[in-house]
Amino acid sequence: MSNNILKHGKSRILPYLQKEDGNVESALVLIPMLILFLIGVQLIVATNIRNTEMALAQGDASARAISHQYQLGDEVLEVGGRIQKIQLLITHRTHILPQIVPGLVALIGGNPASEVVGIAVIEPTNS
């Protein structure tokens, strides 16, 4: 009995499964929407990485300006007038961005890296 019901149900469903109406139209809509979604995700990821790197670069600059322990890529600038001069420490930080959409960076012609700068006032030493 159950075998008979299965055959009857299969014979009714099979013609619907064999029809392909709407598959091409669905693909023509879904593929551009998927690409647009991935581009949006790429922008969100790049923005979040840049914000994180900016906070880390600023923290590094502040810590090094207080401790007077500079690294190789750091810059020290002297700013000010005749009375008092202020020294500024500038740090650089670079992070490679992940590529979620293959070929998007090559298409735009950009650089898939986030480059940020941290700036801090160097504290005078008590000597």
How sure is the predictor about 71, in pLDDT bands with cuts at 50, 70 and 90?
A: confident
Answer whether 76's CB lies under 8 Å from 87's CB.
yes
Residue pointed to by tokens 């299969």:
10
Instruction: Report which residue type is found at 12.
Output: R
Query: Does the predicted TM-score (pTM) go above 0.85?
Result: no
Q: What is the dihedral of CA 120, 53, 113, 95, to 10 degrees?
A: 100
Neighbours of 34 (CB within 10 A): 11
Q: Which of 85, 65, 79, 74 is nearest to 117 (CA)?
A: 74
pLDDT score at 62: 92
Angle at 78 between CA 75 and CA 83, to 5 degrees: 165
For residue 56, give the H/E element and its range. Answer: helix 23-67
Tokens standing for residue 25: 């139209």
Tokens standing for residue 96: 């490679």
What are 32-65's pLDDT values in tens digits? 899 899 989 988 998 999 999 999 999 999 998 9
Burial class (CB in 10 A: 0-12, 13-18, 19+), 118: buried
What are 82-116's pLDDT values in tens digits? 778 888 999 999 988 888 877 777 777 777 888 99
